[in-house]
Amino acid sequence: MVKITIENVVKRFGNVIAVNNISLEIKDKEFFVLLGPSGCGKSTTLNIIAGLERQDQGSVYFDDEKVDEVPPEKRDVAMVFQSYALYPHMTAYRNIAFPLMVRKVPSDKIRKQVMEAAQMLGIESLLDRKPYELSGGERQRVALARAIVRNPKAFLLDEPLSNIDAKLRVAMRAELIRLQKTLKTTTIYVTHDQVEAMTMADRIAIMNKGKVAQLDEPIRIFDKPADTFVAGFIGSPPMNFFHCSLMEEKEKTKLKTSEFSLSLPSDVAALVKEHGNTSDLILAVRPQNISVSKQRLGDDSFETEVYAVEPLGTETIVDLTVGGQIVKSVCPPTFKASLGEKVWAKIDIAKIHVYDRKTEKLIV
């Protein structure tokens, strides 16, 4: 158990700034997720915390101790790599047992701990196999078991479920959440999968191009994405964006796009006016907050055309042509429409966000 702090950390590889002045404080016992697209600097950040990579600037602290000069093996963290690093000549059992054997733990105790971890990860029947006899997902689970048995100060996990099939991944997600809550070991978990981040994290840091775009609890990131990058990254299908501006019409303040306009509640209108820039804005709406019907849906609904229909069983995603862009809406599974059919769409005004198009930051 440990609090991990990184302060103004910078890491360059030649001309690439992999980590661009990041500061984070990961609380003791926290399940902390680093989320972001490929190449945004997640693994580099994790490797710096583990001591496997040396930062060019800034410092890492475990509790109040600066660990910049502490080698990785003395930091007492267990790391699971994106490319699981198992010892190829050892069986799965010995791979898992290895950290305990090094510490000269009695063999009956080792056996007990290895079996417990193996059971938790569903790999009891694989313990006699060597890594080359295991699938990618099985190797990943062996690597996780090896991390668990060590009982380290912190788990540093780099996409540990990426090679596991979808069904098992969902099950493992729940197991990992339970495990972390039981062991109460500070955990930093790297993923580019927003569902993993949303479901597992106490807090998420969303990274973009070596910087932290937003740091918050999952639900707050979902409800109030701080900029258009986060808004577009979190949520499935992704947020719809419309270029728009503010205008007054018949004593109402409206957001006007090239295809439709929306009357704003007075508090939202006031906030946008206060912001100053009212002419170069982005309206952001989740597909779940656009309803579609064959009939007109009252004020501010607008007529569009069906571009594609994607039934998923639990819901149906309907793609609409709005101006030159495709807009996604999530409809009930009973919704049916043919391609090119004229339909009406309506945006739930209570759920919209407005961003400044230049700064890309959230206004309201």
Ligand X SMILES: Nc1ncnc2c1ncn2[C@@H]1O[C@H](COP(=O)(O)OP(=O)(O)OP(=O)(O)O)[C@@H](O)[C@H]1O
CB 167 within 8 A of CB 173: no
Q: Is 43 in the site for Mg ion (CB under 5 A)?
A: yes
For residues 13 to 42, the per-residue mask of contacts with Mg ion, x marking binding by CB under 5 A and - elsewhere, is ------------------------------
Nearest approach, Cβ of residue 267 and ligand X (Å) = 38
| Contacts of residue 147, Cβ cutoff 8 Å, sequence gap at least 6 | 78, 79, 80, 155, 157
Partner in contact with 125, chosen from ligand X, Mg ion, none, beta carbon below 5 to 8 Å by kind: none
The smaller minimum CB distance to ligand X, of residues 79 and 179, is found at 79
Q: Is 117 in the site for ligand X (CB under 6 A)?
A: no
The single residue among 1, 8, 13, 54 that binds ligand X, judged by CB under 6 A, is 13
Could you tell me where the beta strands, DSSP code E, fall in the chain? 4-13, 16-26, 31-35, 57-62, 65-66, 77-80, 154-158, 186-191, 203-208, 211-216, 240-249, 252-256, 261-263, 281-285, 290-293, 302-311, 316-322, 325-331, 342-347, 353-356
- Residue (of 293, 351, 264) closest to 256 by Cα position: 264
CB 349 within 8 A of CB 262: yes
Binding residues for Mg ion, rule CB under 5 A, total 1
The smaller minimum CB distance to Mg ion, of residues 43 and 240, is found at 43
CB 86 within 8 A of CB 123: no
Nearest approach, Cβ of residue 43 and Mg ion (Å) = 3
Q: Is 16 in the site for ligand X (CB under 6 A)?
A: yes
Nearest approach, Cβ of residue 47 and ligand X (Å) = 8
Give the binding range for ligand X (CB under 6 A) out of 10-18, 71-79, 270-278, 336-344: 10-18
Partner in contact with 225, chosen from ligand X, Mg ion, none, beta carbon below 5 to 8 Å by kind: none
Nearest approach, Cβ of residue 46 and ligand X (Å) = 8
Nearest approach, Cβ of residue 236 and ligand X (Å) = 18
| Contacts of residue 308, Cβ cutoff 8 Å, sequence gap at least 6 | 318, 319, 339
DSSP state of 361: B
The single residue among 2, 6, 9, 18 that binds ligand X, judged by CB under 6 A, is 18
* Cβ-defined contacts of 333-337 (< 8 Å, 24+): 335/292, 335/309, 336/309, 337/292, 337/294, 337/306, 337/309
Helix axes 107-120, 136-149, angle to 10 degrees: 130
- Spatial distance between the Cα atoms of 50 and 68, rounded to a whole number of angstroms: 10
* Cβ-defined contacts of 265-272 (< 8 Å, 24+): 265/349, 265/350, 268/352, 268/354, 268/364, 271/363, 271/364, 272/246, 272/354, 272/363, 272/364
The smaller minimum CB distance to ligand X, of residues 60 and 343, is found at 60
Residues 183-222 interacting with ligand X (rule: CB under 6 A)? 192
Nearest approach, Cβ of residue 212 and ligand X (Å) = 12
Binding residues for ligand X, rule CB under 6 A, total 13
Residues 95-134 interacting with Mg ion (rule: CB under 5 A)? none
Q: Is 45 in the site for Mg ion (CB under 5 A)?
A: no
Nearest approach, Cβ of residue 217 and ligand X (Å) = 22
The smaller minimum CB distance to ligand X, of residues 41 and 235, is found at 41
Partner in contact with 240, chosen from ligand X, Mg ion, none, beta carbon below 5 to 8 Å by kind: none
For residues 20 to 49, the per-residue mask of contacts with ligand X, x marking binding by CB under 6 A and - elsewhere, is ----------------x-xxxxxxx-----
Q: Which residues bind Mg ion (CB under 5 A)?
A: 43
Provide the binding-site residues for ligand X, judged by CB under 6 A: 13, 16, 18, 36, 38-44, 82, 192
